Structure 1
Amino acid sequence: MNEKSLKELLLKVKNGQMTIEDAIQELKVLPFEDLGYAKIDFHRNIRTGYPEVIFCQGKRIEHIVGIVQKMLQRENNILATRATPEVYEAIKEITNDAEYYELARIVVVKRRELEKTKGIILVATGGTADIPIAEEAAVTAEVLGNTVDRLYDVGVAGIHRLLMNSERLMRARVIIAVAGMEGALASVIGGLVDCPVIAVPTSVGYGSNFNGLSALLTMLNSCASGIGVVNIDNGFGAGYLASMINKIGERGQER
């Protein structure tokens, strides 16, 4: 149940189209529904503005399908992250609306269009190998209703590639900097722009990068101000956080 359907329910009670008892029955599953293997948080959409997201990694396909089936009844958009092609094929069996973003490893079921923000989230990568994590961030932000600009392969090994795109950097309301190796991209961008920078360390790199730990520590120790860091390879978390920041800015412009 989303905010719109809750208002419709209350209006039916007010107009005598539904009894209080029937309304209570509907509201019983509002906080969450217990499937035994999962408790789906239907109240999250009203509480935070975003429906619950399905993290597929480690889940059995039949459990994912069961969760999706229940969520489809609420007519919300569905975002399933870290999804394999097999997960996508299983979801496609129960809905024709499923779309698979292979690089991002995300399945999206779009049931309603969201108005895109005027503010831009720019997603930048140090290298081409960082694109899968960047796409997870970009697709997440887009599905949550944001305008996204992609700027890939602009790492510090050829810093002129980044500097030649300074106008795009300056237009952004939030920037997501995705980089492996030593993770210096976030610091460079942070020193150039006047907006928040969300740094995403990736596990891309040679042996001594310790599966992304070197990039994580560099980003945490950045001397540039205005940088926040999410966990290694957490493109989804970066896209979600960037959306929240962007939407706050959007509300500020409306006042």
Structure 2
Amino acid sequence: MQDKLLKLLEDVAQGNLEPQKALENLKNLDFEPVGDFAKIDRHRTLRTGFPEVIFGIGKTPEQILQIMQVMNQHGSIVMATKIEASVFSLLQPTLRQLRYFPEAKICCLGESMPLRSGTITILTAGTADLPIAEEAAITAELCGFTVKRLWDVGVAGIHRLLSHREMLTQAEVLIVVAGMEGAIASVVAGLVSCPVIAVPTSIGYGASFNGLAPLLTMLNSCATGIGVMNIDNGFGAAMLAGKILNLAYRDKTITV
């Protein structure tokens, strides 16, 4: 990788390559292996505006530890999602600066990214949906966005939602998190002009099929302007909301 980078810099210095073209090449320059089980995407932030994030499920604590240690050498924030408290307790003795957000099941090293323009509003149908909503909220905050939270405003008591009508209509992008039948996403999308990102959760009785019922409800919504994430994917919802805001504020967004 060093040889490729040196050649790139020499081409710029000698006038054989325009600086803008060099930047484009840097975005896809290389990756860094961790043992024989992972390859870190070194320039994902350059390409997408957001860093690579570790998905915790299916990885051993030792693998997560090694990946975080290598990523931390490059100075940007290091995040891992779907981290159980028991796994964090095994990581923290070695990574003394590791922070943990238990409800969101996210741990991170380093400071949050620089403040970005735009606000992400997140609401839940019920209290049981909070872990996935907090996954979205903490992800967004660590990535530099301002977050507004509105919890437990589902359709079983629709007046709770309607009492926040002004907050909804002023939102720039909304993440709606719901289990059971997931009807709240359609209701919200029918009230607002901004994009709505619906996140079905695996909360509900047996016939909700671990989130399949709200997923299908959200996909079949008659309200327009809804994008639907996979079941329990609060992280993905935050990333999509962030990209929407980055595009809306393209000329104002801080370069990271």
TM range (shorter): 0.7 to 0.9
1:97-246 pair list within 5 angstroms: 97-111=97-111, 113-117=113-117, 119-246=118-245
Question: CA deviation digits over 1:128-186, x for unaligned, max 9?
Answer: 00000100111111111111000000000000000000111122110000001110010
CA shift at 1:111, angstroms?
3.8
TM-score (ref. length: structure 2): 0.85
Rounded to whole Å, the distance in 2 between the matches of 1:112 and 1:207 is 39
Maintained 8 Å contact 1:200/1:238: yes
**2:68 match:** 68
Rounded to whole Å, the distance in 1 between the matches of 2:195 and 2:218 is 14
CA shift at 1:115, angstroms?
1.4
Question: What is the one-letter code of the residue matched to 1:96?
Answer: R
Query: Which stretch shows the higher mean deviation, 216-225 or 39-48?
Result: 39-48
CA shift at 1:109, angstroms?
1.4
CA shift at 1:44, angstroms?
1.1
Query: Which stretch shows the higher mean deviation, 62-71 or 85-94?
Result: 85-94
Query: Which stretch shows the higher mean deviation, 223-232 or 31-40?
Result: 31-40
Question: What is the one-letter code of the residue matched to 2:181?
Answer: E
Rounded to whole Å, the distance in 2 between the matches of 1:232 and 1:112 is 26
What's the secondary structure of 1:74's corresponding residue? Answer: coil
Unaligned runs of at least 5 residues, structure 1 = 15-26
CA shift at 1:85, angstroms?
1.7
What's the secondary structure of 1:251's corresponding residue? Answer: coil
Maintained 8 Å contact 2:112/2:143: no
Q: 1:129 to 1:247 in 2, by over 3 A?
A: same
Rounded to whole Å, the distance in 1 between the matches of 2:176 and 2:52 is 25
Q: 1:218 to 1:74 in 2, by over 3 A?
A: same
What's the secondary structure of 1:132's corresponding residue? Answer: helix
Rounded to whole Å, the distance in 2 between the matches of 1:170 and 1:33 is 44
CA shift at 1:45, angstroms?
1.6
Rounded to whole Å, the distance in 2 between the matches of 1:239 and 1:230 is 10
Rounded to whole Å, the distance in 2 between the matches of 1:159 and 1:245 is 28
Identical counterparts, % of pairs: 55
Q: 1:253 to 1:222 in 2, by over 3 A?
A: farther
RMSD of Structure 2 on Structure 1 (CA): 2.3
CA shift at 1:112, angstroms?
5.6
What's the secondary structure of 2:120's corresponding residue? Answer: strand
Kindly tell me the number of residue pairs found equivalent between the two proteins.
234
Maintained 8 Å contact 1:201/1:232: yes
Q: 1:174 to 1:211 in 2, by over 3 A?
A: same
Rounded to whole Å, the distance in 2 between the matches of 1:128 and 1:213 is 19
